[in-house]
Amino acid sequence: MAKKENKYEGYGLATQAIHTGTDYDEGTGAVRRPLHMANSFKLPDDLSQVNYSSTDLLMYSRNGNPNQHWLEEKVAALHGAGDAIVLASGVAALHALFWTLLKTGDRVVYPKVSYMAVYRLFHELFNRKFGVETVMVDMTDLDEVRKAITPGTRLVHIETPDNPTNGVTDIEAVVKIAHENGALVSVDNTFASPYNQKPLQLGADFAVEALTKFINGHGDAQGGAILSNDLETMDRIRYEAQVNVGSVISPFNAWQIFRGSVTFPLRMQRINESTQKIAEWLESRENVTFVSYPGLPSNPGHDLAKRQMKNGYGGVISFGVNTDDKTVERFCAALKVVTFAVSLGHDESLIFPQPSYDERIDLYPEKFRKGFIRFSVGLEDPEDIIADLDQALKSVGL
Ligand SMILES: *Cc1c(COP(=O)(O)O)cnc(C)c1O
C-alpha cells in the first residue's frame, strides 16, 4: 500500500484525531462514514485485474475492509507514521510483527518485564516451536542491553513504560545500539499512548499499540495496530500475517475504535492530569510502600521519561501496600467508584492486583513482589477516585 494519506498533516493532534480518516458518505451525504458489515465485495467484471493476495483491492474482508482502512488512516496520523496496520487485538499486532520478521536461527532481545503474551511468545513458543533464539534482558539497564545485542540480532523489542511495573526504557539509546548491530527495533507503546510518546520519531522501526486501551478508551472493543515508515515490510506483514494467518479486525470493532479515537487526545490530557494527582496522593499515604509512576520525581525513570514523553506520563500507576494477597483482594473489592477488573485505558478506573504467586514475580524488581497493584486511572473526578481509594484502604485497616 502507498503511504497513508493525511490531509491534516501539520495540524494539532486533537484536530487530526477528529478529522483524519473522516469523510462524508458519498451516497447519502451523511457526515459519518458507514459501518460496512460485509465479508465479500463485488468483483470487477474483468478478473484479470484481481490479485488474490492483495490488500489494496476490496475483495474479501480478511484481506482488508473499509472500516479497517479508515481506522488505519486515523491511527497513522496519531503517530505521524507513514503506514498503519490495524488487526484484531494488541496481541494479534505483536504476533503479526514477530511472525513476519523472525525465522529459525534469528535472535530476538526482549524485556524481562513485558505484557504477558510477549513473555509467552518468546519464553515458550517462538523458541521451542520455531528455533528462534530469544534473549531476555533488563531493558532499563543499558549495559545489559549492550551485551545482549550481538551482531546478527534481528529484532530488539521494547515496552516502555512497561506493563505492569511502569519501568522506563531509553528508546533512542536502545535504537542506537540495535542499529549499530544491524537489528530492528519495535516498541510496545500502549502504556504511553501516542499522545505522550511517538517511538518512530525516536528512531524505532515499528511501534505497536493495543487499541483496546487508551485509543479506543471506552472498554467496548478490542484491536491492535502496527505503525511504521517501512512501507515494504508493512506490506509483507499484511500479506504474511493478516491475509494468511487471519488476524483481521471485525469492521464493527474498527468502527467502534474509530469513534472512540476521536476524543483520544482530550481524554489523554485529562488522564495525564488525574493520574499525576492521584500518584502524588498515593505517595503521601501511609501504608503505601511504593508508587511507580514516571511522572513522580522519586521515580528512577523520571528524567528519562521527561525527555521522551512529551505531554505527560500516562494513565497507569503501579503501587504497593503493606499487606498480604488476601487483604489486597479485599481492598480491591471494597472500591465503589473504581472497578475491580483487568485491562486499562477505559473511561472508568480499573484496578487489578498482581499477586505474590504470579509466575513472573521474580522477574520484577524486588519491591514489586509484595502487595503490588496495577491501577488504571479513568475519567471520573480525581477527587472521587482519591476518596474511594482512601475509604477502601481504611476499610481493610490500611
Ligand atoms: C493490553 C496490552 C496488550 C495487548 O492488547 P490486547 O488488545 O489485549 O491483545 C499489549 N501490550 C500492552 C502493554 C498491553 O497493555
Q: Which residue has the cell 511507580?
A: 292
Q: Is 188 in the pocket of ligand 1 (CB under 6 A)?
A: yes
Q: Give the Å distance between the CA of 398 and the centre of ligand 1.
A: 31
> Right CATH number for 264-395 from 3.40.50.1000, 3.30.56.10, 3.90.1150.10, 3.30.1280.10?
3.90.1150.10
The pLDDT value given to residue 110: 98
The pLDDT value given to residue 49: 78
Nearest CA to ligand 1 atom 6: 90
Q: Where are the domains of the chain?
A: 13-261, 264-395
The pLDDT value given to residue 279: 98
Q: Give the Å distance between the CA of 299 and the centre of ligand 1.
A: 24
The pLDDT value given to residue 53: 75
Nearest CA to ligand 1 atom 2: 210
Where the chain has pLDDT below 70, the residues are none
| Phi-psi sector, 243: left (phi>0), alpha (psi -120 to 50), beta | alpha
The pLDDT value given to residue 336: 98
Q: 377 is written with which cell numbers? A: 486511572
Radius of gyration of the chain (CA): 21
Bridge-based pairing state of the strands 372-376 and 316-321: antiparallel
Q: Is 210 in the pocket of ligand 1 (CB under 6 A)?
A: yes
Q: Is 160 in the pocket of ligand 1 (CB under 6 A)?
A: no
DSSP class of 212 = T
Which ligand 1 atom is nearest residue 212's CA? 7
pLDDT in tens, 341-371: 999 999 999 999 998 888 999 999 999 999 9
Which ligand 1 atom is nearest residue 94's CA? 10
pTM reported for the whole predicted model: 0.97
Q: Is 213 in the pocket of ligand 1 (CB under 6 A)?
A: yes
pLDDT in tens, 258-308: 999 999 999 999 999 999 999 999 999 999 999 999 999 999 999 999 999
Q: 46 is written with which cell numbers? A: 474483468
Q: Give the Å distance between the CA of 91 and the centre of ligand 1.
A: 6
Our mutation pick for probing the ligand 1 site, out of 91, 196, 215, 226, counting the most ligand atoms within 8 A of Cβ, is 91
Q: Is 153 in the pocket of ligand 1 (CB under 6 A)?
A: no
Nearest CA to ligand 1 atom 11: 115
The pLDDT value given to residue 2: 79
Q: Which amino acid is at 119?
A: Y
Architecture of domain 13-261: 3-Layer(aba) Sandwich (3.40)
Q: What is the DSSP string of 147-182?
A: HH--TTEEEEEEESSPTTT-----HHHHHHHHHHTT
> Cα separation of 122 and 141, whole Å?
20
DSSP class of 247 = -
Sign of torsion over alpha carbons 367, 371, 375, 380:
negative
Q: 238 is written with which cell numbers? A: 499484511
The pLDDT value given to residue 73: 97
